[in-house]
Structure 1
């Protein structure tokens, strides 16, 4: 079954997307090395709960177009997000953004605060937290060579990286799940596109240059983080929670960087709870429960 059944042209680029449900629009922005497949165990439940969920593959990722001679940096992806909302006639939405998608979410919220009703960032890149030393070395010294890797070598490289995104490594990233993450790169074009449209743009300047503007955000912000994230240390989650006024941090015990793979039910519950919370304008009326949901500016206690 195709998770993204529709295509839309935004600023001359074909974007594959899914748009189902009604009520408050919620836009899901995936990370890297990934595509919208990462939301497969979350988005249908958000739709079933009565929300309009929009999920899409970033240009250069997944099923969306891999444009030639087109900027697919975090800054450009932020502009394309604005174009996508315009094309779908959405003036304001909640954003749920993961990893590099979280950088897009942060930049979009800073640039267009009036269009973001609420923001959830999940195990996001931030400040100077990225790229890792492995990717930095590839970008600076080996990018062109890696674009011409044979399929077996590429699969081995990306599999090692994907195994690091989850708490139990190869036990989760195996069989159909691993195949789905590797599928967009099972061709020479796909392999080149991975390095050209994703790896080339692993650059902390996109988050460092807005770091001093995070304090201007006024919409409700929820930070969700896997306790065992090997790529984005938990210290960055605490830093974001301190710098964004009223932001709430929730740490998911035992989960890794792809927290939606390790704990999809918990992620779904956190998203639905956040969408139901009272925001700063008083729209919606969910009271905090016994575990502190709805209480902003605090970290939830660990739950095992």
Structure 2
């Protein structure tokens, strides 16, 4: 079970294990730190301090009714989390919307980021999809009122798209774990209020010209079969960030750590060893 930490007046659920160089994992959406369960133990085992946490409004962290949970606000909270844990500099491993947080944090605080790994990340104008944009503009309030069964069906359809074979992978205990934070009225509202409302490409478009300023080592990992973030954006990031190395993982979808946890772990450990 995670521990809890107060950061800037809000409760953040986190896990901090191991010793050595700190590696901080930032999850995406619709997700929480559960997505790193098959990667983090191996990072700890080779001698690193591994920190996972749930973004504010996600997973087991607080779900405040009157607090900004946008990408920009989450970036500030990442800095506060590092301060609270006494970490001056860390490697950041970030996925999906967490990748936007990682990009922004590395640009704003380059001295605090030793290395940056971005995995199937939102970037530039890659998000939200037309479906999510329409929902945000016209149907958020309506969707907040969905009964549990209808909400579970909606989120299950989305989660099945995150992996190469949704029917085989996103099922049973794994599907239940991803649905668990939202199996209450508060959880359903929180999904739309703290996650969907903040699907906004301005948070990545406004840093486009600053990506070229990054000087720390950067590794980009991408699932070949990502249905949400096309490979064209991975290649654009690799060209836009000096010295960035792109690795495409065959047969994997957007949640590449579900489809290919061994390969993701191998790539991260290789990067940490450089």
TM-score range relative to shorter protein: over 0.9
Superposed displacement of residue 49, structure 1: 1.1
State which of 29, 36, 41 in structure 2 corresponds to 1:39. Answer: 36
Superposed displacement of residue 183, structure 1: 0.1
Could you tell me which residue of structure 1 aligns to residue 176 of structure 2? 179
The yes-or-no answer on 1:63 pairing with 2:60 is yes
State which of 231, 242, 246 in structure 1 corresponds to 2:243. Answer: 246
Which aligned pairs between 1:223-242 and structure 2 lie closer than 5 A? Answer: 223-242=220-239
Whose relative contact order is higher, 1 or 2, with alpha carbons under 8 Å and at least 6 apart? 2
Superposed displacement of residue 68, structure 1: 1.5
CA distance in 2, matches of 1:137, 1:170: 26
State which of 102, 108, 111 in structure 1 corresponds to 2:108. Answer: 111
Superposed displacement of residue 169, structure 1: 1.1
Q: Report the TM-score, using the length of structure 2 for normalisation.
A: 1.00
The yes-or-no answer on 1:193 pairing with 2:198 is no
Superposed displacement of residue 134, structure 1: 1.1
Could you tell me which residue of structure 1 aligns to residue 12 of structure 2? 15
Which aligned pairs between 1:1-304 and structure 2 lie closer than 5 A? Answer: 2=1, 5-277=2-274
Gaps of 5+ in 1: 278-304
Q: Report the TM-score, using the length of structure 1 for normalisation.
A: 0.90
Superposed displacement of residue 105, structure 1: 0.1
Could you tell me which residue of structure 2 aligns to residue 300 of structure 1? none
Q: What do residues 66-97 of structure 1 show as CA deviations (whole Å, max 9, x unaligned)? A: 01200000000000000000000100000000
Q: What do residues 190-225 of structure 1 show as CA deviations (whole Å, max 9, x unaligned)? A: 000000000000000000000100000000000000
Superposed displacement of residue 60, structure 1: 0.3
CA distance in 1, matches of 2:46, 2:60: 26
Root-mean-square deviation over aligned CA pairs: 0.4
Superposed displacement of residue 262, structure 1: 0.1
CA distance in 2, matches of 1:90, 1:263: 30
Gaps of 5+ in 2: none
| SS of structure 2 residue aligned to 1:9 | strand
CA distance in 1, matches of 2:129, 2:258: 21
| SS of structure 2 residue aligned to 1:229 | coil
Q: Which has the larger helix fraction?
A: 2
> Where does structure 1 differ by over 6 angstroms across 4 or more consecutive aligned residues?
none
Superposed displacement of residue 13, structure 1: 0.6
Aligned residue pairs total 274
CA distance in 2, matches of 1:49, 1:190: 36
Q: What do residues 36-87 of structure 1 show as CA deviations (whole Å, max 9, x unaligned)? A: 0100000011111110000000010000000120000000000000000000
| SS of structure 2 residue aligned to 1:26 | strand
Q: Over alpha carbons, which structure has the higher Rg?
A: 1
